[in-house]
């Protein structure tokens, strides 16, 4: 979906979603998963749900990871969003986190497909892309939704992380912004410490 295809409703007037952030879940606690697109998408959804539906869901990233076809090196975020739109979401506790990456990528999720699709009976899932957004555009759209963003991971410069002009390599959640002497800085909820 392209920006503007869906009607906008201002949900957080100041664009600061700090009070609605989800439970922190690292994508690489035991090993690297390259699953930032699944984690970032679900962090966005869980944050939105906490505000709009007044409850805090915790969905299973493994299910989305497998259904979206994510693997070593990561994936296009569109794959994760389309998987959620078509396959639904599953509660976190239904698939335990495997001890090794080899077990992780071989997780059989077929037994959970019907249960995940039940989520789609309760919710219609749409997503839109901000094409070539500026930080000002993101700042304005944060009034409507938390925004998942591509970033360049991770080059620290004082209290900020910067891209050094390099391509985006990571998908995470922008949940607010700060006006700084350098301009707008996005506040990021990530899947790494």
pLDDT tens per residue across span 8-44: 899 999 999 999 999 999 999 999 999 999 999 999 9
CA angle 92, 120, 188 (to 5 degrees): 55
> Which pLDDT band, with edges at 50, 70 and 90, does 170 fall under?
very high
Give the contacts of 124 (CB within 8 A, at least 6 positions apart).
Answer: none
Q: Is the pLDDT of residue 1 over 70?
A: no
pLDDT tens per residue across span 75-134: 999 999 999 999 999 999 999 999 999 999 999 999 999 999 999 999 999 998 998 899
Q: Residue 189: what pLDDT?
A: 98
The strand order across the sheet containing 183-189 reads 147-151, 170-180, 183-189
Q: Residue 182: what pLDDT?
A: 87
Alpha carbon 159 to chain centroid distance? 23
> Which pLDDT band, with edges at 50, 70 and 90, does 4 fall under?
low
Give me the helices (H) in 13-146, please: 36-52, 61-68, 77-87, 101-105, 113-122, 135-141
Q: Residue 56: what pLDDT?
A: 96
Q: Is the pLDDT of residue 2 over 60?
A: no
Q: What mean pLDDT is predicted for residues 138-154?
A: 96
pTM of the model: 0.94
Number of neighbours of residue 76 by Cβ within 10 angstroms = 13
Q: Is the pLDDT of residue 48 over 90?
A: yes
């Amino acid at each position: 979906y392209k920006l503007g295809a869906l009607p906008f409703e201002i949900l957080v007037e100041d664009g600061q979603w700090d009070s609605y952030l989800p439970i922190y879940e690292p994508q690489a606690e035991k090993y690297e998963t390259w699953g930032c697109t699944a984690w970032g998408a679900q962090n966005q959804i869980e944050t939105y749900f906490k505000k709009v539906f007044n409850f805090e869901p915790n969905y299973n990233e493994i299910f989305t990871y497998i259904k979206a076809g994510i693997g070593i090196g990561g994936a296009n975020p569109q794959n994760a969003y389309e998987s959620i739109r078509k396959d639904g979401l599953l509660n976190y506790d239904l698939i335990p986190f495997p001890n090794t990456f080899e077990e992780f990528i071989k997780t059989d999720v077929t037994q959970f497909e019907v249960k995940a699709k039940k989520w789609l009976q309760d919710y219609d899932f749409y997503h839109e892309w901000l094409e070539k957004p500026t930080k000002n555009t993101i700042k304005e759209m944060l009034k409507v939704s938390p925004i998942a963003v591509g970033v360049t991971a991770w080059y620290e410069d004082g209290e900020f992380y910067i891209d050094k002009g390099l391509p985006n390599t990571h998908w995470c959640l922008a949940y607010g912004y700060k006006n700084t002497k350098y301009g707008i800085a996005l506040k990021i909820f990530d899947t790494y410490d």
